[in-house]
Amino acid sequence: MKTLAKAVAMLGGLILGGLSGGAQAVTINATLTEADSKALAAPFDAVVSLDLGGALCTGTLVSTIHILTARHCILATPAATTVRFDDKTNGQTFSRGVSDIANMVGQNYEDGTDISILTMVQPVTSIAPMRLAAGALVGEGARLVGYGVSAVADAIDGTPDGERWAADNTIDNIGQSAVFPQSMIGSLLEADFDNPTGTSNSLSSVGSSPTMLFYEGAPAVGDSGGPLLVNRGGEWQIAGVLTGGTETYGAYGDVSWWTSVFSPAARGFIETNSTAVFAPVPLPASLALLLVGLGGLVALRWRV
């Protein structure tokens, strides 16, 4: 996996996949505590930890038997893959085996195809699956969730805690990467990690705000496959699946990207290989009006 990471880094980014022996969790800004991040993540029981033959990644329950994750996480056979649930609502932890893995076909992990569907051997009925969003908006706030060890800004603690962490960020770009246009050609969602002083605004070229959100954070190694969530009328829905970032541990200024679930190709793959549900509720009213005025998704820099 380290060899793969170096190869991707040469293209201008780092795949945030799982590493044996522990994974790095969501990295929060230095004004927050670990307890803040874990409390923010607590309601998301559908977000799970994946053991892929010793490597660790993150995924999301999208039906009673299906898990959505990143294709680059798939390093093991179904028989060697385990889905671990931490049901904080009901105070229980449990695991499920995997009977089948479907991988989206693509030339690389930045072309909008970094998506896989795991089919579990037994259904999960105690946790509600998450629905998928019909779209997202540049400038919209979003929440990222993942598993791993302590990570606060640039001070990385390598102690694995097996807990679910969360942070917020702003979707700064949708479509081709603003930072690495030659290697990023798919339908992607992109965000940077702003610091308290507003001096780490890596995506200023696309109009990103330098202002740090209260729960601002970024993903890091081991969060791959985890969801980027948008709020639709009080319901958190999946807009993207974590593919990579420019910093291994999510330092200030890190640019991270998620593979869109709502591009036609990704949506078709997900609906063909699972019983996941895309929310019928349209995009936010403000976005719907904007799309009408602009004449379609292309104006918002979607590349599908």
pLDDT per residue of the chain (304 residues) written in tens, 0 to 9: 322 332 333 333 456 554 333 334 688 898 998 889 999 999 999 999 999 988 889 999 999 999 999 999 998 999 999 999 999 999 999 999 999 999 999 988 989 999 999 999 999 999 999 999 999 999 999 999 998 655 677 666 655 578 899 999 999 999 988 887 777 788 999 999 999 999 999 999 999 999 999 999 998 778 899 999 999 999 999 999 999 888 877 789 999 999 999 999 999 999 999 999 999 866 555 555 554 444 443 333 332 2
- Whether 20 is covered by a domain: the verdict is no
Q: How far apart are CA 71 and CA 225, in angstroms?
A: 8
- What's the number of domains the chain is made of? 1
Q: CB–CB of 33/83 below 8 Å?
A: no
Residue 141's pLDDT is 97
Encoded amino acid at 95, one letter: S
- Whether 148 is covered by a domain: the verdict is yes
- Whether 38 is covered by a domain: the verdict is no
Q: How far apart are CA 247 and CA 255, in angstroms?
A: 7
3-class SS of residue 234: coil
- Whether 283 is covered by a domain: the verdict is no
Q: Which domain holds residue 241?
A: 131-262
Q: CB–CB of 222/58 below 8 Å?
A: yes
Residue 20's pLDDT is 33
Q: Count Cα neighbours of 297 within 13 Å in the Cβ-side half-sphere.
A: 13
The CATH code of the domain that includes 145 is: 2.40.10.10
- Whether 228 is covered by a domain: the verdict is yes
- Whether 181 is covered by a domain: the verdict is yes
- Whether 21 is covered by a domain: the verdict is no
Residue 292's pLDDT is 45
Pinpoint the alpha helices (H) of the chain: 2-10, 34-41, 264-273, 285-294
- Whether 109 is covered by a domain: the verdict is no
Q: How many residues does the chain have?
A: 304
Q: 58-90: string of b/e by CB count within 10 Å (b at 16+)? A: bbbbbbebbbbbbbbbbbbeeeebbbbbbebee
Q: How far apart are CA 281 and CA 131, in angstroms?
A: 11
pTM of the model: 0.86
